[in-house]
Structure 1
């Protein structure tokens, strides 16, 4: 009847979260054996179900934060993870705990020893998962603590906890040049309720149990921890990060104090410390090896909105044919390479040639574009290429370049001398239809019969005219000379004359 009466009292006064500690039966003076409490605000969709199981549930971690427990089966940390039940009636706290039989003996954590009356501190951290089947959703958390009472009854009452949603980090500022990102959020209030069986509890106004927040960053893949931000109770919390240009997401976890327990990674005592309890319970969070002195919540905040530090469009290079070039063929490959730290959005690529869209005919990859153009006319071509990166800003870059196609062979437009009264020292003049390649040796271009050597040639008028002199070797009087321009003659774009050109004169 004693325990039934206690259970009724708990229901009436809303103290429904239950986390317990058992103590050595030889402890003297007697210290607290069981701790009882409850939670408010576990989350707006707490208790809903989803395919595959319960969508929202609660878990409590109970430990002593200021002593070490030594010996086999003695742990610093106790896990007590039952589903949080609904309130017994409107206005009551959600109850946490389990009593298996009509005698209402409360189900207590086991193997917690060496409680020191007036010294050992009990601490409970409560977490709930909101809306999803794992710890990746919007999570709520809270904590409270007390000191083991001297000559206490079998049970003590913790104040009810107001759970708070782990805040989602937001962008405060960013520097595109340095890559510095500053994110912020409001620190948790760590509220506790005025509701409690023992109205005179000294621990009702608790100090902050939150040490800091773990910050996690993702560039689209797995989240990795990048540092800690110090708690600022009910105030602004800041975290500074430096990144390369790109898209980033952030989320946080809450770091509760764990004091100086040495059992974290103690290899000598097989059953001692947080490490072994974590393994025994199937947990492998970062607490077990990385952060002595703190307990990191399993729960995380929601993911922040994407934070982009990339404001530059892709880099476009190696445009072909080269800008300003002239081709002496009517077939070519138009191409370019591009790159970006955020990757390339291949669906954004646009290729236009003389304002006609050729994108669908081109070969487009994440590193470049190419298009084989055939049957081109002898005109000027202007190429426009546009491409965007894969960042959330979809930064755009474009390039425009031009080239000319010239496949027309040059022709002889004029020549001199002609007729039958040419003087023996007259010079040879040849005028072409376009600028010529003057690097071609005129000995391979011009021939005369009967043979006459000792020629000196000079180009002028934009290399469209050439003059040949022969001061040391005059023509022979009363002689007919036959002159020929061979197909070795070619214009500045490499087009050879299609046919030889000949004429004659008489001295």
Structure 2
């Protein structure tokens, strides 16, 4: 790099540094530098006070520097009626002198049209815009659309007022929430009562003001814009229009006639309800149960007392339930429960007898199938008129508590059906005679008889096998309508073609129960669980059929055996019955350095096949099956004794070399190549370190006599060049691999190559001799024609200049020179 280039680079670097420091200095110097923020306010371009943007004012502040003062513009530039956006009202403020600002600061401008300012007399409006300050002289913010501060609506209920409105559209997204103010009168002093939830642009918003006492309440809201990054707010000066509501109390019932719990109410008696305040008659509702009585309303002039008349008298001996609903006149609040119950009940007079109690009572369950039916009456009955019928039908005999004759007992010789719903009805008259009337205890009534226990045996499950003399759990579930489970009496037993027996009996047996399985052999064993409840009813459950096996497995056959076993032969073991796979595989071992590979099972887990790819040739192996090999009956019967057998693998030969090829070369040579074998003849892996070398044989035909080209020492590479061959012949080659222990492979597949016939080159030698003679003759003639160069004086020769060659001269001339020089 020359000096000129270096100088240019230095100047460029210094220039960039200078620019950087200039920019830094310019940035630091922003404080006090004039800078204008402006923007347009729509959506109307109309001039004059009909457009709220024209009398609006603006407030400017930095959200990232809340300590900087808020700057204001008291009156925006008016819209001029020209097309948007140029015709919009606008704000513009030189904020530079009042702030220590910098590029990137975030400025927010809040615009308000406030009633009473700049000639504005309408509702209060607001909008906002924001943006980041730049290093330009003027920053124009996005256009804002001024909106009326939302109109609120009030919804009241006892002790609360819900203030509702629709959120501003807030196109520039600066509204955070709304401040809610409250005063006792429209012109009163408003105080803040809280904040709304987060802004929902153009969506439903509300503030629930509670708890409140009955009084008059007026509300306004103001808009809260974001002031800083920590939750600070800028709240508009303008607020919404005030809305007021008078909050009263919820109405209650002061008194009723009949009162709650009153008895002997006469049939034609009216129902009278007195309320705590004036009610809205159109909202008042009532219901009377049991139905069948039509009620007509009559209100007093103050609409706080309701009389319900009826042309049909109440039914005697009946309990009625009355319920009243409705809203008051002033607040439209719903009727609430006060000191007087609502609903309430009363009972009509009862000259006729009633059923006051039954045994079993209405809705009873788990009723003993031999239980008697007992009915108690409110008056002395005439036994000759009384009967009890049931569905399904049962024949009863009756006995009375004479001489009172208020209780009848109905007995039955035939037990009720199990788990059956019975409906019973009593009929009869007193001694007047007044016959039974409804009321008191239900008549007719129903009850459900006892259901035997429901038992389900969950273990053992069908088709499994348990070993004889082993411990296993019997498990079950049981339900009963009436008797506690702990009070049930159980009997556990088993059945099978090989024998049956009781396992255990007792009260409150819990599941599971440990059972030592008997030492039998059966494929059809079943466990039965019988449970008897307190009513004497028995339920039972049975397991599925399962197997009990007490016979130990044996080895039926095991291979391979004998000698000369191929080294890749699998071990195959056949058992007398199905075996547990994991335990049996772990019980099989082999010595001699071999390992047993991936197991496979067949024949219903009776035949185990194990791979033995790691066995060496000519080696004796012993396989042992330990007594830990167990059958597939849990937890498993093992072999009585270990099973052991041996076999011997045969010596393996290497595979023949492959891909043998022969290719003719120069000077009557042929190059033979091949690939070394990688496996033995059984397919097992042959290590390259076991190969000592190769024998190469050659013949002049496939069936001709072969010559071993490496008779003494095997060739150690996979390429061999055969030389000294005769042109015009075809030669055949075979390659054998020899291992370090002397084992030799079979012949490879033969390969052959043909040499071209040798050519007669006598004419070429004759031509070459002629050419050499001609060249010698030409050279001799040229030598004789050369002339000698005169010799230079002897003193003039130097070491640096070699003597010029002497020019040859004819013999005669030389002789003359020699004679004349004496």
Common fold: TM-score over 0.5 = no
**TM-score interval for Structure 1 and Structure 2 normalised by the shorter chain:** 0.3 to 0.5
Q: Give the TM-score normalised by structure 2.
A: 0.26
Structure of larger gyration radius: 2
